[in-house]
Structure 1
């Protein structure tokens, strides 16, 4: 079996299952664009918007809640996050 494994060649996979590495500024910019047409965002939408895995998207959303940029009203498992007026181009009159 070892002789067979020595003859085996491996290729590096070009596609990974990791999240894109975006800075907070890049994510905030994408959120600002998103909130121009949408009143709220879900974790799944952030995954699609930024190329993030679910766990990473949840961390990024929670960070913005902790910073006061987003609100997460209702139940803990509620998937909806709303922009706080004054952030992401959302005016207080919206």
Structure 2
């Protein structure tokens, strides 16, 4: 292809266009593992936020439920922010939108 080195072809035409869906799926998996940890902690009786929220729900402890929900919301926001930063680094179209081009 155009006499370009194989490494350049692989990086420019194969890896770079395929990275955004991979990054998206990875970030969704991270978010899913945080929410799945709630169930794992309860099943295996491990201490953590999952056990705390289950005990708070059973005791109808609204401030703790709200606090844990806020913690999970912050984790979600940080993950999405990290995803956007990585996207702007990987995809030149997004980088151009940020710069106003």
TM-score (norm 2): 0.24
User: Which is higher, the Rg of structure 1 or of structure 2?
Assistant: 2
| Structure with the higher fraction of residues in strand conformation | 1
| Structure with the higher fraction of residues in helix conformation | 2
